[in-house]
Amino acid sequence: MSSMSRARAARRIAAGAAYGGGGIGLVGAAAVGLLVAEVQLAKRHVGNGHSPHPPSADGLYGWGSPRSSAAESGGGHSALGEPPLRLVMLGDSTAAGQGVHRSRQTPGALLASGLAAVAERPVELRVVALPGAQSDDLDRQVALTLAVQDRIPDICVIMIGANDVTHRMPPTRSVRYLSAAVRRLRTAGAEVVVGTCPDLGTIEPVQQPLRWLARRASRQLAAAQTIGVVEQGGRTVSLGDLLGPEFEANPRELFGPDNYHPSAEGYATAAMAVLPTVCAALGLWPAEEERPDASRREGFLPVARAAAEAADEAGTEVAAAMPTGPRGPWALLKRRRRRRLPTPEAAPTTAPEPSV
- Point out the catalytic residue in the list 58, 78, 92, 93: 93
93 is catalytic: yes
Residue 166 burial (C-beta neighbours within 10 Å; 0-12, 13-18, 19+) = buried
Helix, strand, or coil (residue 29) = helix
Size of the chain in residues: 356
Helix (H) or strand (E) holding 90: strand 85-91
58, 199, 241, 258: the active-site residue: 258
Smallest CA-to-CA distance from 62 within 97, 111, 126, 112 is with: 112
What is the Cα 120 distance to its own chain's centre? 23
| Helix residue ranges, H only, the chain | 3-19, 29-43, 67-72, 93-96, 107-119, 138-145, 162-166, 171-188, 210-231, 245-249, 251-254, 264-281, 303-312
Report whether 219 contacts 311 (CB < 8 A). yes
Which one from 103, 199, 241, 261 is the annotated catalytic residue?
A: 261
Distance of CA 28 to the CA centre of its chain: 27
β-pair type (316-325, 299-302)? unpaired
Q: CA-CA distance, 310 to 318, in Å (whole number)?
A: 7
Residue 85 buriedness (CB in 10 A; 0-12 / 13-18 / 19+) = buried
Active site residues: 93, 258, 261
